[in-house]
Structure 1
Amino acid sequence: MRCGPGGPARPRSSGPGRPGRSRRPERSARVIVGLLTSLRPRQWTKNLLVLAGLIFSQSVHRPALVARALAALAIFCLLSGSTYLINDVFDAERDRSHPQKRHRAVASGRVPGPVAAAVGAGLLLAACAAGFALSLRFGLVALAYAVILTSYSAGLKHVVIVDALMIAAGFVLRALAGVVVIDTEFSDWLLLCTILLALFLTFGKRRHELLALEEGAAGHRPILTEYSPQLLDQMIAVVTASTLMAYALYTVAPETQAKLGTARLPLTIPFVLYGIFRYLYLLYRRDLGGDPSEHLLTDRALLVDVALWGGAVIVLLYLAR
């Protein structure tokens, strides 16, 4: 310790500002981690639908088209992630009343709302710009997806039935994007199956939320007051039967068999049957269904079924012709 004219010198104080400065990197790291988790990478499995056009057009052996399809997939991952982030900003207050969603980064306060909104908007614009750089038609589809999902977050999710149709439209645009990016023909059957499957999953999710939240349902998602378990059960029954019938008719349609060069696609119907029935089992007997993407990653039976269906499609379209 140094001594000065006035006596021993006091130890140097870190000052009131120093601890705050030392915590800034920690706070910044928490914000960055919160932003990344808010992009919901585990939900990006939905974007694999972008690759359907590549697979069913029998183009996986063409490197240029594979590269374009993968670029489209990456853009839609960025698009969907940014819309999730923007949706969290709109829903922050209601998410605080949800037993699980209250832990989300924006709802919990780990990421300030203005920061989340700015980052979400920036990523959305960047994704749309990348889409137009890939091709004009793909860019228009990406822009339509951004407009529809942002409109959903801003207010359309509060309109009964329209909320489900908006989510279904997002799935359809994913499938359409995968088709236009490789400039191939869009199948009406693919459109129909995509719409029905999306409605099936959406109505199942609404039913799970309605029963799981009980009296708190209206506070978290006001549109749930417009539904009832009985109404949702009827809707689920309609779209379940319609989805199965549409897929079965797609596999046996003469135009499908002529285009794909195989009449064996009906062999994949049992996998679709099991997958839908398994999801219904999780919904009605396990009280699950609130997050279909999560179930796809965590339910072993469903994961194996989807893998077997995908493997069967690949074999029938590429190896057993």
Structure 2
Amino acid sequence: MDVRGACPGQFAGGDGEGWQDLHVRAAAVQRPGVGNRVISRYVGFHGVVELSSISSAGVPFLPRHIPPRPGGPRVSAGPALTRRPAVSRRSRAAGLARALRPRQWVKNGLVLAAPLAAGELSTPTGARAALIAFAAFCLAASGAYLINDAADAAADRLHPRKRHRPVASGLIPVPLARAAGAVLAASAPAVAALTGGWRLPAVVAGYLALTLGYTFWLKRQPVVDLVAVAGCHVVRALAGAVAVEVPVTSWFLVVISLGSLQLVAGKREAERRAQAGSATRATLAAYTPGYLAQVRTMCSGAMIVTYCLWALNDHPGPFHALSIVPFVLVVLRHNLLVDQGAGEEPEELALRDRPLQIFIAVQLALLVLGIHLT
């Protein structure tokens, strides 16, 4: 509910001008017959929430008493608000580096999937093209994250974990995040052009268009948001094939698509179970646990069958067939972790879960042996 709707004409100017001070965050308002409530202001967001929510989010109260107009509600102030100290250049630079989310770059490993499967990483030309594609997607992804954080800064301040992000916490100003994101996003196709063709820059541009569409519209559309995020993963994989100029098989495309959708469904399921993202992710309320689990199960089964058909056809030698075992273990392990409450950050599972790392390493080793020894 908007502050001006809750207390019309009660603040200076009659239109909420008293809330324009960026240091004003919340006020306890008492109205006859309504009782005490907390009206919060998060720079661009107006809403009425419970006092416990404000306290758990660490939101300070008004530093001073705002006198109401005659006949209006009484507005009382909490403890004095301490002004934020000036941010040093070093702190801001460190915050900007953190806002790039380098840990998320592990997702860009999908760029190397097609070159690895085709054996192109063992050639200097193929390795160079694949690394250029990887670097371009790191720039594109970081630029998209900055733009997304700038767009969601107000809502992220309501989230118990996201409120600590550099942009949401105020360490990085929103205009700076937008500008840095735009520079990185614009530089990504330019880096991709170092491969010498136009196809990879076009794929990177398509990825940026998809991520921007997700930021400003698609993420608020149930089901479409799942497909959009999964599509970003698929585009990464396609970019690797385009970079080294190898054809994309239908097997590869189906496995990557189903695997991506499984990861996204698991992420939403973990978010919904924790209810941590309910205030900032509009589509969570539209999903039921049963629906997301059904999507995850469907994708897991179809992906395993597709991978088996790929590994057992047109691949001499035992290594591709043997890679089915660790592949199935990866899928089952991920499902187990999601059922246990993990999966909200899939990249963290790949970086921290030791069994998952072992299964992935064994599968990659078997694929490399199958490529070079048969």
For the pair 1:100 / 2:100, whether they are aligned, the reply is no
Structure 1 residue ranges without an equivalent (≥5): 1-22
Displacement of 1:217: 4.2
Residue by residue over 1:28-75, the C-alpha shift from the partner in whole angstroms, topping out at 9 and shown as x without a partner, is 222211111111111111111111121111123311221111111111
Where in structure 2 are the equivalents of 1:76-91 lying within 5 Å?
Answer: 76-91=137-152
Paired residues, number: 289
Aligned to 1:237: 297
Give the secondary structure class of the aligned counterpart of 1:289: coil
Aligned to 2:29: none
Aligned to 1:75: 136
Aligned partners of 2:211 and 2:96: how far apart in 1? 19
Identical amino acids, percent of aligned pairs: 33
Aligned partners of 1:290 and 1:249: how far apart in 2? 30
Aligned to 2:235: 173
Greater strand share, structure number: 2
Aligned partners of 1:229 and 1:171: how far apart in 2? 23
Aligned to 2:360: 306
Contact 1:132 1:140 in 2 (8 A): no
Contact 2:101 2:142 in 1 (8 A): yes
One-letter amino acid of the counterpart of residue 335, structure 2? L
Where in structure 2 are the equivalents of 1:150-165 lying within 5 Å?
Answer: 150-165=212-227
Residue by residue over 1:220-278, the C-alpha shift from the partner in whole angstroms, topping out at 9 and shown as x without a partner, is 21111111111111111111111111111111233xx2xxx546412101101111111
Q: Which moved more, 1:26-35 or 1:161-170?
A: 26-35
Where in structure 2 are the equivalents of 1:247-286 lying within 5 Å?
Answer: 247-254=307-314, 257=315, 262=317, 264-285=319-340
Aligned partners of 2:324 and 2:233: how far apart in 1? 21
One-letter amino acid of the counterpart of residue 40, structure 1? R
Aligned partners of 2:189 and 2:129: how far apart in 1? 15
For the pair 1:62 / 2:123, whether they are aligned, the reply is yes
Aligned partners of 2:318 and 2:279: how far apart in 1? 51
Contact 2:150 2:177 in 1 (8 A): yes
Aligned partners of 1:272 and 1:97: how far apart in 2? 38
One-letter amino acid of the counterpart of residue 122, structure 2? H
Aligned partners of 2:92 and 2:325: how far apart in 1? 46
Aligned partners of 1:262 and 1:27: how far apart in 2? 60
One-letter amino acid of the counterpart of residue 32, structure 1? A
Displacement of 1:182: 1.2
Aligned partners of 1:187 and 1:64: how far apart in 2? 21
Where in structure 2 are the equivalents of 1:173-252 lying within 5 Å?
Answer: 173-213=235-275, 217-252=277-312
For the pair 1:317 / 2:348, whether they are aligned, the reply is no
Aligned partners of 2:215 and 2:122: how far apart in 1? 39
> In 2 relative to 1, CA 61–234 (structure 1 residues): closer, same or farther, beyond 3 Å?
closer
Aligned partners of 1:312 and 1:224: how far apart in 2? 39
One-letter amino acid of the counterpart of residue 169, structure 1? G
Aligned to 2:181: 120
Give the secondary structure class of the aligned counterpart of 1:303: helix
Give the secondary structure class of the aligned counterpart of 2:167: helix
Aligned partners of 1:239 and 1:217: how far apart in 2? 24
Displacement of 1:101: 1.1
> In 2 relative to 1, CA 87–63 (structure 1 residues): closer, same or farther, beyond 3 Å?
same
Aligned partners of 2:112 and 2:317: how far apart in 1? 20
Displacement of 1:173: 1.0
Aligned partners of 1:171 and 1:279: how far apart in 2? 17
Contact 2:108 2:134 in 1 (8 A): yes
TM-score (ref. length: structure 1)? 0.86
Aligned partners of 2:102 and 2:294: how far apart in 1? 32
Residue by residue over 1:115-159, the C-alpha shift from the partner in whole angstroms, topping out at 9 and shown as x without a partner, is 001100111001122223432000110000010011101111111
> Runs ≥4 in structure 1, deviation > 6 angstroms?
none
Displacement of 1:289: 0.7
One-letter amino acid of the counterpart of residue 141, structure 2? S
Displacement of 1:203: 0.3
Give the secondary structure class of the aligned counterpart of 2:119: coil
Structure 2 residue ranges without an equivalent (≥5): 1-84
One-letter amino acid of the counterpart of residue 280, structure 1? N
Aligned partners of 2:248 and 2:180: how far apart in 1? 34
Aligned partners of 1:61 and 1:268: how far apart in 2? 20
Aligned to 1:17: none
Displacement of 1:78: 1.0
Contact 2:319 2:366 in 1 (8 A): no
Contact 1:217 1:225 in 2 (8 A): no
Aligned partners of 1:282 and 1:276: how far apart in 2? 10
Aligned to 2:346: 292
Displacement of 1:199: 0.4
